[in-house]
Amino acid sequence: MTTTENSATAEHPTTAATDPTAPTTRPTTRRLGTTGPSVSSPGLGAMSLSGAYGPSDDAESLRVIHTYLDAGGTLLDTGDFYGAGHNEMLIGRALRERSREDAVLSVKFGATISPTGMPLGFNGRPENVATSLAYSLRRLGVDHLDVYRPARLDPEVPIEETIGAIQEQVEAGYVRHIGLSEVGTETIRRAAAVAPISDLQIEYSLLIREIETNGILETCRELGIGVTAYGVLAKGLVAGRSGDSGGSRGMFPRFQGENLARNRALLEQIQGIAAAKGISMAQLAIAWVASHGEDIVPIVGSRRVDQVTSMLGSTAVQLDERDLARIDAALPVGAAQGDRYPTALMGQLDSES
């Protein structure tokens, strides 16, 4: 066996053909807005593969990525600050023996962190766009990114300048499409006036439904911008996680004290729907997000292969009008208790202003 073959075996330990636990359900295909790429739905969120919600194991993480790709998944969502670059390097390893066309790489940039990983702010200056992109391309081992987006709005930099700098990278061939993340309606319109925007990444779940009423979803649809929904499992609340489950969950108000008890009680009201269909609450939550429009792509984090199998199984779930009505009655907009981020971080969300 050659050195290359040894490397491929180590990096790609299982495939759908050899692993009896591999998913049997394939993702669907959706397009990110009217100008963006076709991607698999649900997409794979990679943040948890770098310790965000508890310890992670690189070998298992590589199996997670390969299992998703082997099942027909394409959309890999990451950020250059996830694990201070670890996440991008991990994905780069996973893609090393594959065709570049196997994956649609969506990358967030601009978040600044301390040596301990704590968030410090955001840097959306035009000169930072090229620098951050250069590091991402090197860590991922690719010559272009499919979607590149500022992680948040830099309050010191007009969005037009940040988007204009990304558009220069589009014209240079290093980026294919431009996305946004956690911004409000005015910022969306200003960004779209500079360059085509493929999608807005924003939190949307059974417990976080504000985009339905605050104009964000309506604006995206008016402008032909897709939505990539993160936090679909409410950061683990849907699966019964608590603030002491590991990682950063304990810092989120919705995992604290009476808020946690209230939010769990809300979700218990719809467990009967999942039970009647013979599915998990996680699959119900993913299917619910996906049911709200072909222009919405759920992004779901997974740390284990069985979670990938469960995630992809959600594509077979059918929610009828009666199911959706029961969910609406139990979990209306604003029903969840507690902010979705700590106070300091809520102040950094243009989408909440």
Catalytic residue annotation: 82
State how far the alpha carbon of 26 is from the alpha carbons of 23, 62, 74, 98, 101, in Å. 7, 19, 11, 19, 18
The region, left, alpha or beta by phi > 0 then psi within -120 to 50, assigned to residue 55 is: beta
Rounded to whole angstroms, the Cα distance separating 194 from 269 reads 45
DSSP E strand stretches across 118-244: 119-122, 145-150, 175-181, 197-203, 226-230
The region, left, alpha or beta by phi > 0 then psi within -120 to 50, assigned to residue 102 is: alpha
| Residue 103 neighbours by CB under 8 Å, 6+ apart | 69, 74, 75, 76, 91, 95, 146
DSSP E strand stretches across 4-64: 28-31, 38-41, 43-45
Rounded to whole angstroms, the Cα distance separating 62 from 64 reads 5
Confirm if 119 and 112 have CB atoms less than 8 A apart: yes
